[in-house]
Amino acid sequence: MASRVLAILLGFSFIILAILIFTNTATFKNISIVLQPGILGSFLLFALNAFYLPNAALSILGYFTGTGFAVGAGTLVSPFTHRLGELPALPLLSVLPTTSSRWALIVVALVVAVGAALAIWAQSSSTTTLIQSFVQLLIATALLSYLASGSLMTPAMSAVGLSIWKFTLSIAVEIALGIALVVLLPQIRIRTKR
């Protein structure tokens, strides 16, 4: 069940990433032209951008859950803060938002709804299954955020990507809220009827 929840969240992020790439095609193209990579360089640039797609999707999920992500030391891109310095000329970075927007936090409702779905799916089995699925989801989230962060490559790159603990904590709180709504609301209704 944890894999189902993770697939929904990552699927949503990849859809948003695809929309952002297609809506920023002109900027993407302009950065590529400025680089003038040549024929071999074009293939390498394409491969580099393709390899960064999973990282970008996780960063988008981090953005929409409220924690945001970094693109270097002293940078932060989140619904609350937009602090960017000089960026490398990587075409994929054309999808970065230009300002902060608290409207992005509306997507938190989707994460809460996915948490509610997890509770509904797990309730048919047992409470133990729900707890195990929740813990598995958090472990997978922490592992994926570590793999998507720059700290995997070198300590100097640790300022790039998601904050592992903040991202995992935000997913934990939002999923737990969805679970609590499904588990606790029926109990509250029963008590008020008495």
* 155 compared with 87, residue with greater pLDDT: 87
Predicted local distance difference test score (pLDDT) of residue 137: 96
Mean pLDDT over the full length of the chain: 86
pLDDT-derived band at 85, boundaries 50, 70, 90? confident
Q: At CB < 8 A and 24+ separation, what contacts does 49-55 make?
A: 49/90, 49/91, 49/92, 52/90, 52/92, 53/14, 53/17, 53/92, 54/148, 55/148, 55/161
Query: By C-alpha distance, which of 56, 168, 187, 67 is closest to 119?
Result: 187
Task: Answer whether residue 54 shows pLDDT above 80.
Answer: yes
Contact at 8 Å (CB) between 177 and 118? Answer: no
Task: Answer whether residue 190 shows pLDDT above 70.
Answer: no
* pTM value > 0.95: no
Please give, one letter per residue, the 3-state secondary structure of 66-95. Answer: CCCEEECCCCEECCCCEECCCCCCCHHHHH
Task: Answer whether residue 83 shows pLDDT above 70.
Answer: yes
Q: Looking at mean pLDDT, say which of 23-32, 36-45, 115-124, 169-178 comes out highest.
A: 169-178
Q: How far is it, in rounded angstroms, from Cα 130 to Cα 119?
A: 6
User: Distance of CA 64 to CAs 30, 55, 109, Å?
Assistant: 27, 14, 10
Per residue in 119-174, pLDDT (tens digit) is 999 887 888 899 999 999 999 999 999 888 766 555 656 677 888 999 999 999 99
The residue extents of the domains of the chain are 2-193
- Tokens (6 digits) for 51: 């390899």
Predicted local distance difference test score (pLDDT) of residue 155: 63
- Tokens (6 digits) for 54: 């999973």
Query: By C-alpha distance, which of 94, 101, 107, 125 is closest to 30?
Result: 94
Query: By C-alpha distance, which of 59, 58, 186, 171 is closest to 115?
Result: 171
In a 3-state reduction of DSSP, which class is residue 160?
strand
Q: How far is it, in rounded angstroms, from Cα 187 to Cα 127?
A: 15
Cβ burial, residue 25 (10 Å; 0-12/13-18/19+):
exposed
Cβ count within 10 A of residue 174: 21
Q: What is the mean pLDDT of residues 73-89?
A: 83
